[in-house]
Amino acid sequence: MAATVDAFGGDALIACDNLVRIYQVENIEVQALQGLDLLVDKGEMIAIVGQSGSGKSTLLNVLSGLDVPTAGAARVADWDLLRMSHADRLTYRRSVVGFVWQQTARNLLPYLSAKENVMMPMAFAGSGPRMRARRAMELLEAMGMAGKAHRRPHQMSGGEQQRVSIAVALANSPQVIFADEPTGELDSATGDDVFEALRSANQDLGATVVVVTHDHAVSSQVQRTIAIRDGRTSTEVVRRTKMGEDGIMRTSHEEYAVLDRAGRLQLPADYRDALQLRDRVRLELESDHIGVWNDKTPVTPRVEPPASAPVAAHTPAHTPAQAPAQPPVHTPVQTPAQPPAPASGDPYAPPAAAPQPRHQTDATPPPAHMPWLPPGEHND
Ligand code: ADP
Ligand code: MG
């Protein structure tokens, strides 16, 4: 089914534009996604991180075709996630995307062996028994689990079960694997093995991988980490590895604020606190950056034009781009090209006084165990 979403993120494999998901619980509305934008290119392996309740699972449920957003646009490959028929939805879940959930028990059928579990989605997609057996063994091999192909889930460790789960997710050669806290129930060494298996799904088998987690440490495991806060993407960390002049490879992490299509961005809480930026700020366009000032800071008179600095929080259509006649007196706050180096060394670590999200629960009801089963046969 061809997508009818606008050209936003035309080349991207996944494009979410102003995605909104509101849950109505009795008379209370919970805005789980509040205008989220997200672009993921084919072949990327990214992490989406955020505190509990920030909307991560809601986003994955939408992207995996299990839930329909309230408003906005969402596209994966050529599939418009807001306008799929039931039949399209089933095809999409069976062969375009694959899933790995946090609870190992939700990914695998307990009475089947690892190999039979991997063959199951292929049977539902109509492939023949010999082809199923061959591909199942290839995938288990790629996940380092070929030697345990005949074990049932209870005869495997948690990390092994997750590696088999990744093989199940890959069974029908999906374009994208979505993993919701896949290492949440594992210790960190086992979690690293599972990440390694996801990386192999990405690099060796060509699947685009989107991992959701509350564990900020994953940014060292992926090329790009997107932070989600109160249902919107707020910052991105890009990891680059470069060879230095001394021939040694070095990895750097650069933090960016996400600028949405309407021009909104979120200033990090520690930047706002440091300069007591609140309610409204004064903006000044300079030749290569934008200055952001506390609105109580006196305006420095300019030679030309007269000082009528814009004050609105939303970027107004002010007359731009005359390089200042004199350098500004105030040290400008540049859009963060580098992380503000918080004490913990974790660029996402919230400052001590960071406001907590209003909703702290992790109340997403478990979706169907086996998303590739037709409706009515879900074992949830
Ligand atoms: P995360 O996965 O980041 O912990 P969720 O996407 O599960 O966050 O939840 C985001 C917000 O939406 C939370 O406030 C949560 O309580 C609420 N929420 C999630 N699912 C439901 C639901 N089915 N009904 C009502 N509220 C929900
Ligand atoms: Mg969640």
228 lines ligand 1 (CB under 6 A): no
Pocket test for ligand 1, best of 359, 360, 380 (most atoms within 8 A of CB): 359
Higher per-residue confidence, 114 vs 319: 114
Ligand nearest the Cα of residue 55 is 1
pLDDT digit string, tens, across residues 262-310:
788 878 778 888 999 988 898 988 899 999 998 887 776 666 555 554 4
Kindly give the distance from the C-alpha atom of residue 379 to the centroid of ligand 1, in angstroms, as a whole number: 22
Q: 121: helix, coil or strand?
A: helix
Q: Name the nearest CA neighbour of 339 among 219, 246, 247.
A: 219
What's the whole-number average pLDDT of the chain?
A: 80
Looking at domain 14-235, its CATH superfamily turns out to be P-loop containing nucleotide triphosphate hydrolases (3.40.50.300)
Measured distance CA(146)–CA(173) in Å, rounded: 18
Task: Please give the Cα distance from 243 to 236 (Å, whole number).
Answer: 23
Q: Higher pLDDT residue, 260 or 80?
A: 80
Q: In whole angstroms, what is the distance from residue 225 CA to residue 258 CA?
A: 12
Residue with more model confidence, 332 or 152: 152
Ligand 1 contact, 57 CB (< 6 A): yes
Quick count: other Cβ atoms within 10 Å of Cβ 207?
24
Cα separation of 374 and 361, whole Å? 30
Q: Supply the residue whose CA is at minimum distance from atom 19 of ligand 1.
A: 364
For ligand 1, whether the C-beta of 22 sits within 6 Å is no
CB 252 within 8 A of CB 240: yes
* Tens-digit pLDDT profile for residues 54-79: 999 999 999 999 999 999 999 999 99
Q: Measure the CA–CA gap between 223 and 259, rounded to whole angstroms.
A: 19
- Tell the residue number behind the tokens 């290569």, with chain if given: 288
Give yes or no for a contact between 177 and 13, defined as CB atoms under 8 angstroms apart. no
Ligand 1 atom nearest residue 181's Cα: 2
Helix (H), strand (E) at residue 56: helix 56-63
Helix 129-142 to helix 158-169 angle (10° resolution) is 130
Is 359 a pocket residue for ligand 1 (Cβ < 6 Å)?
yes
Per-residue confidence (pLDDT) for residue 41, from 0 to 100: 95
For the entire predicted model, the pTM comes to 0.75
Cβ neighbors of 374 (< 8 A, separation 6 or more) are 90
**Any residues with CB less than 8 A from the CB of 38 and at least 6 apart, and which?**
14, 15, 16, 19, 48, 59, 226, 233
Q: Atom of ligand 1 at shortest distance to CA of 214? A: 3
Mean pLDDT of 343-370: 44
Domain range list for the chain: 14-235, 276-332
Q: What is the DSSP string of 159-223?
A: HHHHHHHHHHHTTT--SEEEEESTTTTS-HHHHHHHHHHHHHHHHTT--EEEEEES-GGGGGTSS
**For the chain, what's the residue count?**
380
